[in-house]
A and B are shown apart, each in its own frame.
Chain A
Amino acid sequence: MNIISKIIIPLFVVFIIYCGLKKKIDVYDSFLKGAKEGLITCFNIFPAMLAMIFAINIFLNSGIINFLLGGFESIFNTLNIPFSVLPMAILRPISGNASLAILNDILRTLGPDSYAGRLASILQGCTDTTVYVIALYFSSVRISKTKQALPVGLFADLMGILAAFVLTKIFFG
């Protein structure tokens, strides 16, 4: 599986260029045209990226999340679930790196085959960074009215997170 996932991208690159040549396209010119569009996209998404990273970092580094969730610690202890999966579940839609850091911590201290390790792995896999993706994608095309995108995205995350807790219980008891 590891080899397949490593070889798939290089082969894909060769395949794209080969198809271009076969259709007698000026592949180099096409590449430059597309790359330039990509550069403009980067330019368009940078303000949103900076805004989000600024807010997320202040929030995370202030340590408030542990303060807010402190009350839940005893509940988690009685359920025999390590408390650290709760901040991870809450951070998952906001920051992929933050939840990945917690996952790393859980795997290192409790082991990947512990109940918490499995639960945290599934939590990381069950959803993506909704808040960040929505801010980024809409800003790239300069849309300010995002309508129901964010609430629906967060609802999907919530269902995914709940499913992760339930499925871990079912699969690994």
Chain B
Amino acid sequence: MVSIIWAVLIFLGVFYYLFTGNIEALNNEVLTNSKKALELMLELMPVIVLWTGLMKIAEDSGLLFKFAKFLSPFLRKLFPEVKKDSLALGYIASNIAANMLGLGSAATPFGLKAMDELQKENPNKKEASTPMITFLVLNTAGVTIIPTTILAMRVMYNSANPEEIILPAILATAISSISGLTLDYFIRRKKK
């Protein structure tokens, strides 16, 4: 599925460049645009390294485990397959908390660590496990309570009431998450 989307994006882009006769730009695009990946990685890497370092302290001190335990009544319902004392729940909880506060760049390292921990429990290392899919559905729906970037932009353009979009945005996110989780649940039930 990722393969298909990937190929379709490239094909459509290249064909439209050819169709509009913009061959110079296309050639340039193909040769140089991968540099942007390095630029993004240079931006992201220090954040990931810093937060995985800090979270290792939280892991070793038992703080992460305590946090997971605190949220476990809620998390156990969503991730019944994950072992009770798994650190994955702590990272999932941290990822959701960071996302909720709109700290997107801090959320990514937690999410990646959560995947790492879930992979340790995954019986088939090549295939996505059930809790992984649930986690990603929750993650991609982007449960945000304080959308910091959007608020900053609205303030920048002198909105009379920058926060007025928060409530409808939360509701829209909730609808998105709930429909994703529901569909995921029914697909799993059908497969069993």
Contact = CB atoms under 8 A, between A and B. Distances in A.
Interface of A: 1, 5, 8-9, 13, 16-17, 19-20, 22-23, 25, 27, 30-35, 37-39, 41-42, 45-46, 49-64, 67, 93-94, 100, 103-104, 107-108, 111-113, 117-118, 121-122, 124-131, 133-138, 140-153, 155-157, 159-160, 163-164, 167-168, 170-171
A124 to B, nearest CB: 5
Contacts of B56: 30-31, 33-35, 37
Given A121-B150, A137-B139, 17 more contacts: A13-B54, A16-B54, A16-B63, A17-B57, A19-B63, A25-B60, A33-B53, A37-B56, A41-B109, A42-B49, A50-B34, A58-B26, A103-B150, A122-B168, A133-B140, A141-B118, A147-B128
A74 to B, nearest CB: 22
A107 B179 contact: no
Chain B interface size range: 35 or more
Contacts of B187: 148, 152
Contacts of B118: 141
Contact of A35 (B20, B50, B113): B50
B105 to A, nearest CB: 10
Minimum-distance CB pairs A-B, first 10: A34-B56, A160-B176, A156-B180, A38-B52, A128-B142, A125-B169, A58-B13, A35-B53, A112-B159, A126-B172
A41 B12 CA distance: 31
Contacts of A155: 179-180, 183
B71 interface: no
Contacts, number: 326
A152 B180 contact: yes
A143 B127 contact: yes
Interface in B44-76: 44-45, 48-63
B154 A134 contact: no
